[in-house]
Amino acid sequence: MPTTKKTPFRTWYRLDLSAIVYPTLQRRDFSSVYRLSVLLTQEVRPEVLQRAVDLSLKRFPTYKVSMRRGLFWRYLEPNDRPGPFVRPDVRNFCMPMSFRSRDRYLIRFYYYGRRISLEAHHSLGDGTGAMYLLQTVTAVYLRLLGHPVSNRYFVKDIDEAPDPEELEDAYMRYADARFCPRRPAQKTYRVRGSREPFHTFNVIDGILSVREVSAAAKKYRASITEYLNAVLLFSLMQKQEEEPHLRLRPVRIAMPVNLRRFFPSKTLRNFITMVYPSVDPRLGTYRFEEVVSHVHNYMRYYINEKFLRGDITTNASTKRNPLIRVVPLFIKDFFVRLFYSRVQDRNSSAGLTNMGALRVPEEMKPWLERFDIYMGIPYSRRTNCAIISYEDILTVNFASCIREADVERRFFRRLTEDGIHVTIESNRS
């Protein structure tokens, strides 16, 4: 009898608990894309960078994928198409990614001068997972140029097989609280601004000294994250008070928390949850010192293992619901999109993420100057703020799709009032 040739088994990946939402929100003018960048001390050689990407990507199977659509859920499938190919950078970045593009990749690599940039769709992973990919590519790039770099911190060994834990949906391992706490939901203040034309992305970068920011935060007995959250809240409050309004609304920031700090996990996929520091100006006029104190106490109360475990369990309860599991995908999409646009998106005035202080192998340090992170185009008219630090350089990266920059101006003015020197860069004309 002739032997039947078997089709080789292809691994596929379920979307993790956070990733389920991001493809649902996809529009022609919106895609959940964020960017990480590293600024080197020498000009980037694109042909060497392409080789580094090709060598490194095989070590990250959940990034070498394409999005597929099933009857009930979407999933990620290995992508063997040529690419992704490094490209010269563009002025308006973080543009929408189509799931049906020619190469189907959900990541992009760019170069410009001394900068290497990685853009990733949030359905693949969060900023921590993408930072492993960016730093590994950078380390391999430096090795190809003859500079030895060890595998430490965010640099993975490209010759070893991925740890199975790197590929897991870590949410489901820790979603075991005994009840699901509700989340408060109410309309918050939203910045009024003139929407920019499609494919226009406004970026304002503030380059600061970690030492100066830390010293300013200590004056208020706060951490750097608490202090910068308070500065953004205060800037939004000032903006609301100066606008014509019939009534004031609460000012609230959506801030992702890296759950790896509280729950042991090596996952390179999404493993974050949101907290919402807020101030309600309807209660009275707040001095800046009061806002810092309020944020400090909020963080101490909510950002701990018990509250975060409850939040994970609340999120997981929907995915585990047997009735929701058998609802066709197009119906799920309709209700998720409706809930997000009418409730979730209105639950915050701005977004702020702080990736914290990065560590790199000692051998990389002579070749690196700084890192940047951008949250990408907001779902609705507002501004997003992303913070990252390396050595003594802390960058605050604002990204928005509105023309006005009043909030950003107030934010940096507040920092200078506290004695912090700020260097501004922008892609605005």
Q: What is the pLDDT of residues 117-139, one digit of tens each?
A: 999 999 999 999 999 999 999 99
**Taking the model in full, what pTM does it have?**
0.93
- The answer, yes or no, to whether residue 194 has pLDDT greater than 90, is no
235 and 300 Cβ atoms separated by less than 8 Å: no
Which pLDDT does position 24 carry in this prediction? 93
- Diameter of the chain by CA atoms? 86
Least confident of 233-247, 291-305, 338-352: 338-352
- The answer, yes or no, to whether residue 371 has pLDDT greater than 90, is yes
| pLDDT over 70 percentage in the chain | 97
- The answer, yes or no, to whether residue 3 has pLDDT greater than 70, is no
Which pLDDT does position 197 carry in this prediction? 85
Report CA-CA distances (Å) from 288 to 34, 95, 227, 233: 31, 36, 10, 9
Cβ neighbours for 12, distance < 8 A, ≥ 6 positions apart: 68, 75, 76, 77, 78
* Segment 368-386 mean pLDDT: 91
Which pLDDT does position 379 carry in this prediction? 85
Which pLDDT does position 10 carry in this prediction? 58
d(C-alpha 235, C-alpha 237), whole Å: 5
Which tokens hold the place of 416?
């200078």
How many C-beta atoms lie closer than 10 Å to residue 282's C-beta? 9
Which segment, 247-251, 392-396, 404-408, is predicted with the most confidence on average?
392-396
Least confident of 8-12, 74-78, 322-326: 8-12
Range(s) for CATH 3.30.559.10 in the chain?
Answer: 13-157, 186-352+392-426
* Segment 349-368 mean pLDDT: 96
Half-sphere exposure for 333 (CA within 13 Å, toward CB): 15
Q: What is 186-352+392-426's CATH number? A: 3.30.559.10
- The answer, yes or no, to whether residue 323 has pLDDT greater than 90, is no
Q: Which CATH architecture has domain 13-157?
A: 2-Layer Sandwich (3.30)
3-state secondary structure the chain: CCCCCCCCCCCCEECCCCCCHHHHCCECCECCEEEEEEEECCCCCHHHHHHHHHHHHCCCCCCCEEEEECCCCEEEEECCCCCCCCEECCCCCCCCCCCCCCCCCCEEEEEECCEEEEEEECCCCCHHHHHHHHHHHHHHHHHHCCCCCCCCCCCCCCCCCCCHHHHCCHHHHHCCCCCCCCCCCCCCCCCCCCECCCCCCEEEEEEEEHHHHHHHHHHCCCCHHHHHHHHHHHHHHHHHHHCCCCCCCCEEEEEEEEHHHCCCCCCCCCCEEEECCEECHHHCCCCHHHHHHHHHHHHHHHCCHHHHHHHHHHHHHHHHCHHHHCCCHHHHHHHHHHHHHHHHHHHCCEEEEEEEEECCCHHHHHHEEEEEEECCCCCCCCEEEEEEEECCEEEEEEEECECCCHHHHHHHHHHHHCCCCCEEEECCC
